[in-house]
Amino acid sequence: MEIGEDLLPKDLPEVLVIKPPPPMILFGDKFIAKKFKILKAWESPLPLDQFLTNYAHSVKAVLCSGASPISPQVLNFLPSLRLVVTASAGINHIDLPECRRRGIAVANSGNVLSEDGADAAVSLLIDVFRRISAADGYVKQGLWASRGDYPLASKLGGKRVGIVGLGNIGLQVAKRLEAFGCNILYNSRKKKPVSYPFFSDVCELAANSDALILCCGFTDQTRHMINREVLLALGKEGVIVNVGRGAIIDEKEMVQCLVQGELAGAGLDVFENEPNIPKEFFTMDNVVLSPHAAVFTSESFIDLCELVVGNLEAFFSNKPLLSPVTDE
């Protein structure tokens, strides 16, 4: 039974939530309602501007996700804000420079979602190479009996896999693929202290890879970073997997490459205009689709809720944040 607001201590720290992040949607606010007073903007009949104005001088912490961008306009209504906690690894929905300028700390999901994200990326890669989803459809449609054996797939072991973004998720992907006997190459903003070959140019990485896995964040610099030139460099036998953000790929060019046979296949968890995706994907058995769910499991949601609470508790106790976003 949820604790009624009228039974909560009156001096609980206030935490503003403009729209509930996925963990709150799934679990309600039971993880944080006992420790914080949640200001639920999405439930208020007031326009957002007026709701924010009402709490302008009291709110010091905001909990958000990609569904509730923290823009300069929002920040202007909250002059007392000192912390933004996001329930995601990505921070492209937060105006980080503006937060820095105003002295507002930012915390994200840290490493909590990395293992599940890596599992999903590798799963998509295996599915595309081994054609598991396509073969499943072949059997369920009765085609095995009527047409005979399914066409041969491709093995994963020995493949050269280029990882774009060797951060928390990228490193976990590399670790898993090494166990499959893959050769790992990577591109990142900076060269990492790892033994994998580093490519500063994504197009060159693609030309030397059998598959690309996108694990990088979405920024102005990474928008459409995977363009037609990169896709053609990956080649007709190449596979691309995206668990980063949809707009990292020029989606229209990728669709054309797939339609024209200039790319062997794709495993996609994210899309440029999700949940609306190109209709061409629906008829492609060399494309495996997932509804932006790579990092989400029941276990990761619980861990994420605990991390969110930990960051908020640390902030209100004047202790270091558990997963601060730094300039590195």
Contact 256, 108 (CB under 8 A): no
Q: Choose, from 245, 251, 253, 272, the residue flagged as catalytic.
A: 245
| Active-site residue, 262 included | no
Query: Apex CA 297: angle with CA 295 and CA 298, to 5°?
Result: 145
| Residues 6+ away with beta carbon under 8 Å from 182 | 156, 157, 158, 159, 160, 161
Q: Choose, from 229, 292, 306, 313, the residue flagged as catalytic.
A: 292
Residues linked to residue 163 through DSSP beta bridges, in sequence order: 186, 213
Least Cα distance to 327 among 80, 100, 112 occurs for 100
> How many other CB atoms sit within 10 Å of the CB of residue 133?
17
Q: Choose, from 98, 204, 229, 274, the residue flagged as catalytic.
A: 274
Q: How far is CA 31 from CA 27, 139, 306, 310, in A?
A: 8, 44, 7, 11
Query: How far apart (Å, rounded) are the C-alpha atoms in residues 122 and 213?
Result: 9
Q: How far is CA 130 from CA 69, 161, 241, 264, 291, in A?
A: 39, 15, 14, 12, 21
| Active-site residue, 245 included | yes
The set of catalytic residues is 245, 274, 292
